[in-house]
Structures are given as C-alpha cells and as structure tokens.
Amino acid sequence: MGTDTKMALLDSAEKAVRSRGYDGFSYADLSSEVGVRTASIHYHFPTKANLATSLMERYNEMLEADLMALDAKAVSAAKRLRTHIDRYRKGLFDGEGLCLCVSFSISRESLEPRVLSELKRYRDISLNWLEKVFTEGKADGSVKSIGHPRQEAATWLAALEGAQLAARAEKDMTRFEETVALMLGRLD
C-alpha cells in the first residue's frame, strides 16, 4: 500500500459519511475496507475530528475545481446548471450517498468548528456560483422565468439536496428525477 493509504482512507471515509453519517461509521469500518489496522489509521489521522476536517477540505477543493472547469467551458447558463444537477445525481451513487455537506449538517453537534466553517464555505461557494449563473441566465435567456438570482440560487441548492434525500429515503433514483424535473424544464 505505502503512500496512498491515506488517499484510500479518505475515499473510504467519504463514502462512509455520505452513506451512514459521521456518527454512523468507525475506524473499524475503514480498517476492514482499506485493509489496515485501526492503529494505522490514527497514524494518518490522529483523531476522527481531524479526519472529518480533511474530508471537508478535499470536498471543497473538488467543488471549486469542478465549478471553475465548468465556467472555463463558456457554455450557456442553462447548460452549466444542467451539469450542476448532474453532479448531484452522480453523487447519489444510486441512492447510497448524500452530499457530504448534508451528512455533516445532521451531525453538527459532534463536529469541530473547523469542519463547520468548511461546511459554510461549501454553501458559500455554491450559492455565489449559482447566483452568478442565474444572473447570466437572465442575460443569455437560456433559463426560463428567473426571479431574484440570490433567491433562485438558495432554492436551487435546497431543492437539489432535498432531491438527494428523497432518493435516499426510498433508495430509488426515480425520486431524484421526479424532483428535478421542473428544474430541468426551465433549462433550454
């Protein structure tokens, strides 16, 4: 294994949090999935809180990179919003996992301030990006009936996370599609 054990642990932990919640997985779970002893996990992540922080940091870096890459493509606002929906659809893994941010929100009280600030950062990045795209959607006419861009952004993000919850509650991807149908319908 060697140096990429740390990455394997992060991958396993992210999957665990997204599918069972922060309080719903243990180092023993990671141990059996990655193939190292729990003591070894503590070498890479001294505490579970530490691991949680690393998870949210990596998650936010990924988000920023994805959104930047999407902006660089210079396509219509509608097309970018469609790709944004795809992110959440893929992130569901057929009803197995939620947005890391949603999972962590529930366990709020068990988390350190550092994780909470990363949680807020995820939302800030998302809302600012969506607000910008809705403003552009008004200009290029690719998105139907846009209200106040900031409010559109907030509702959009909420509906997407709610759509993931719907699919997860019933382990049924059609619930996700049913929920985002109206959103997709607004995009040319």
Partner DNA sequence: GTCTATACAAAGATAGAC
Partner DNA sequence: GTCTATCTTTGTATAGAC
| Binding region for its own copies (CB under 8 A) | 19-21, 23-24, 98, 101-103, 105-110, 119-120, 123, 145, 147-148, 150-152, 154-155, 157-163, 165-166, 168-171, 175, 178-183, 185
Report what 26 binds from DNA, its own copies, none; CB cut-off 5-8 Å by kind: DNA
Q: Residue 93 is which amino acid?
A: F
Element (H, E) at 64: helix 48-72
Q: Which is nearer to its own copies, 20 or 44 (CB)?
A: 20
Site for DNA in 43-72 (CB under 7 A): 43-44, 46-49
Site for DNA in 17-36 (CB under 7 A): 25-29, 35-36
Cβ pair 80, 178 in contact under 8 A: no
Q: Which is nearer to DNA, 53 or 126 (CB)?
A: 53
d(CA 27, CA 48): 8
d(CA 139, CA 4): 46
CA angle 175, 180, 184 (to 5 degrees): 145
Q: In 150-185, which positions are buried (b, 16+ CB within 10 angstroms) versus exposed (e)?
A: eebbbebbebbbebbbbbbeeeebebbeebbeebee
Report what 39 binds from its own copies, DNA, none; CB cut-off 5-8 Å by kind: DNA
Write down the least CB distance from residue 9 to DNA, Å: 8
Site for DNA in 86-145 (CB under 7 A): none
Tell me which residues touch DNA (CB under 7 A). 1-3, 5-6, 25-29, 35-40, 42-44, 46-49
